[in-house]
Structure 1
Amino acid sequence: MSALFDVAKETILITGASQGLGRQFARVLAGHGAAVVLAARQVVKLKSLEDEIRGKGGRAAAVQMDVTDTASIAKAIDAAEAALGPVTVLINNAGIAVEKLAVEQTEADWDAVIGANLKGAYFAATEVARRMIARKQEGNIVNIASVLGVSVMKFLSPYTISKAGIVQATKAMALELAGNNIRVNALAPGYIDTEMNHEFWATPGGERLIKRIPQRRVGAESDLDGAILLLASQASRYMTGSVITVDGGFLLT
């Protein structure tokens, strides 16, 4: 691996690390030498990942974090920094979706999705940024957005609204934090095959959706490896406020 994409000196906190993209990011970054803090609500799920990374000679620590609770965020970062040292990179990946038509979404649905995806990411970022500023430390925040932050699909209105908010939060924070030597960028994945949606791709609806992707395939989790290494490393040192799309051409249609 080129020194350009080196993350060996980084301590990277990944929210929503217990499954899907968060788990893949943790594996890739740890595999390239980063110390990774695995954060999620369910620590039990994180433990096996922590053991797996350590078993391969990597550095990992699991911490319990509920991004919808700002006190929980601060407590988790305290634990993370006690275990592995100051966090230098935050990957804001935790998120959920509730699939219903807008007229059927309840206030509780809205609060859950916006709370986890937008409020949670915003307050995790500001908590980490305050610590970086206090230490006069260079820092890097990567928000996981979505192609649905700039495009829309039926049945996912709170989700698409939350991801559009993430795109704007990325730009707003990038502008404010640039003077503190803290970069803020976003990764906007398209449709990625994860354990949560794996069955869907074999259904008629899934097959129809794949036909709308110019590359005619759904992405694999590993298709995001290059982009996350770019954003988490010094290779992206002159990037801030950027949104990188990895979607097989989905947005072109």
Structure 2
Amino acid sequence: MNARVAFRDLHRPGRPLLLPNAWDHASAAALAARGHPAVGTTSLGVAAAAGKPDAAGAIRAENVALARRLRDLPALLSVDIEGGGSDDPAAVAEHVAELAALGVAGVNLEDGRPDGTLAPPDLMAAKIASVRAAAPEVFVNARTDAWWLGVPEPLPEALDRARVYREAGADGFFAPAVPDDLVPRLVAHAGLPLNVLYRPGGPGMAALGRLGVARVSTGSLLFRAALGAALHLAEAARADREADLPDVPAYDWVAELSVPNSATRRS
């Protein structure tokens, strides 16, 4: 079974896959060690860790380097490639083929642009088709930012794009910020496994499963939460007050995450 098939089989409408998003080796290895069968990356986390802007097509080299570091983890890997780093479908396909050679199981390809507009549907379709031809072993999760960017009439826009992306060869459809009451409409009409973004205070995994969702991503949330915890602890220390934190992983456990065949890893 190739990586795409194994990853696709984790997308079960009604029993959604929780895909936590990592930003470096330690975060990905820790998530894999806790039993997550698949881990994604977050472009914000990867870009911020490298001192680069998010959603600007600036992290191709970082994505490849990170995929190389994560290739031996006991979890399938999906990489957030933003818009693919180019408006040339051949260049996007070349990037995904490079990731596929490192064992990457999936990519997240988005239509949002840094200027706040959506890429034309036919351009996204060309990118998806080129990726499918160059890297048939990679699961292509096509993301629309119709709600994220606040475009007029986002539901018909999203449904039209779902059809176009599906016909171009996409394996999944990601609609961050879709309102909860519209999720069943997307599930019924997208024709692809639906991916939504986890939202604290929003529906939980079971509730999203009942709506027919197949995948739930954490996006940049884990990275931002980690930064928040670091700032909270630093401020508590500076103010000489007690810090209220969740369990902090032990030094030895974290150190062992990068040791081959470590007991912290799943067999």
Question: More relative contact order in 1 or in 2 (CA 8 Å, sep 6+)?
Answer: 2
TM-score by length of 2: 0.36
Considering only CA atoms, is the larger Rg found in Structure 1 or Structure 2? 2
> Greater share of helix residues, 1 or 2?
1
Structure ranking higher in strand proportion: 1
